[in-house]
Amino acid sequence: GESVGLHLPTLSVQEGDNSIINCAYSNSASDYFIWYKQESGKGPQFIIDIRSNMDKRQGQRVTVLLNKTVKHLSLQIAATQPGDSAVYFCAETLVNSGYSTLTFGKGTMLLVSP
Amino acid sequence: DTAVSQTPKYLVTQMGNDKSIKCEQNLGHDTMYWYKQDSKKFLKIMFSYNNKELIINETVPNRFSPKSPDKAHLNLHINSLELGDSAVYFCASSQDRVPYNEQFFGPGTRLTVL
C-alpha cells in the first residue's frame, strides 16, 4: 500500500470522467518523452510516448500533448476507469546522448471512484 | 512467463549488513538498469549495463556494486547498508541502449534497513 503522508499530487475523478495529468519537464534539450503508469506494488509500465517533433499523439483512450515552449506534457485519459487508478510519471530523455537515461518527474496519483 | 523478475520482493535487514538483489530478464534484451524509488515515489536511475558492460553510473555510493554475469542478469550488491538505503529498487531492461526502445520494469524489491 501507499505510505501515509506521501504528499504526491493527487487527482480524484469519477468513473467515466476524462482525466488530465500534467507534468513539467526540466531539460529544454530533451527530445523524447514517455508516460508511465505504476500500480500499487508493481513496477512502472509504459503507456505512451512522444517525440519532440510532435505536439500530440493518441493511443487507445490516452492522448499525450507536448508544449515545448513551456516545457509541459500532459496525459489525457478518456472515460477513466477504476483500473486506471495508479501513480503516473512522465519521463524525459535526450536521444542524441546515445543512452536510454530516463529522467522521471515526481508522479501524480490518480484515484478513480466507481 | 515473467519478463523481468527480481528476488527477493521484500528484504528487511540491519544496518551494516551486506545484501544482494537479483534481476533476470527473459526478453532477450541486451541493456539492463537499476532504479531506486524513494519514499516520495521519486524514481532515479542508478546504473545501466549494455552487453554486460557498465554504460551509466549515476552518483551512487560505491557501497553499491552492480554485477552482470550475462546479458540476462544484473544483480545489485550493497555493502554496509545504511538507513537511507531503504527504498524500492527496480530492475528494468530494454533492447539496445537506444532511448526509443521501451524499458520493461520488474516488480521491485522493497528494502528496509533497520
**Rounded CA separation B22/B73 (Å):** 8
Residue A43 with chain B: CB contacts under 8 Å: 4, 90, 92, 105-108
Of A43, A89, A94, which is closest to B107 when you measure between CB atoms?
A43
Q: What's the mean pLDDT when you consider all of chain B?
A: 92
Q: Å from B80 to nearest chain A CA?
A: 26
Partner B contacted by A104 (CB < 8 A): yes
Strand, helix or coil at A83? helix
CA distance A43 to B43: 11
Cα–Cα distances (Å) from A77 to A71, B56, B104, in that order, read 20, 34, 22
Q: Do residue A107 and residue B4 have CB atoms under 8 angstroms apart?
A: no
- Distance separating alpha carbons of residues A54 and A7, to the nearest angstrom: 32
Instruction: Dig out the grid coordinates for B32 from the structure.
Output: 539492463
pLDDT of residue A5 exceeding 70, the answer is no
Q: What pLDDT, on a 0 to 100 scale, did the predictor assign at position A99?
A: 64
At residue B79, the pLDDT reads: 97
A24-41: average pLDDT: 93
Q: Check CB contact under 8 Å for B41 and A107.
A: yes
Instruction: List residues of B whose CB lies inside 8 A of any A CB.
Output: 4, 31, 33, 39-45, 48, 55-56, 90, 92, 94, 97-108
pLDDT in tens, A83-114: 999 999 999 988 766 666 789 999 999 999 98
How much is the pLDDT for A100?
A: 62
Sign of CA pseudo-dihedral A103, A109, A112, B3? positive
Q: Dihedral (C-alpha) A26, A27, A30, A35: value to the nearest 10 degrees?
A: -10
First to last CA, chain A: 19
**What residues of chain B lie within 8 A of the CB of A8, using their CB?**
40-41
From first to last of its 114 residues, chain B has per-residue pLDDT tens of 679 999 999 999 999 999 999 999 999 998 999 999 999 999 999 999 888 888 877 878 999 999 999 999 999 999 999 999 999 999 999 987 676 778 999 999 999 999
Instruction: Determine, for residues B56 and A101 on separate chains, whether the beta-carbon distance falls below 8 Å.
Output: yes
Residue of B9, B23, B43, B110 to mutate when probing chain A, most A C-beta within 10 A: B43
Cell numbers linked to B75: 544483480
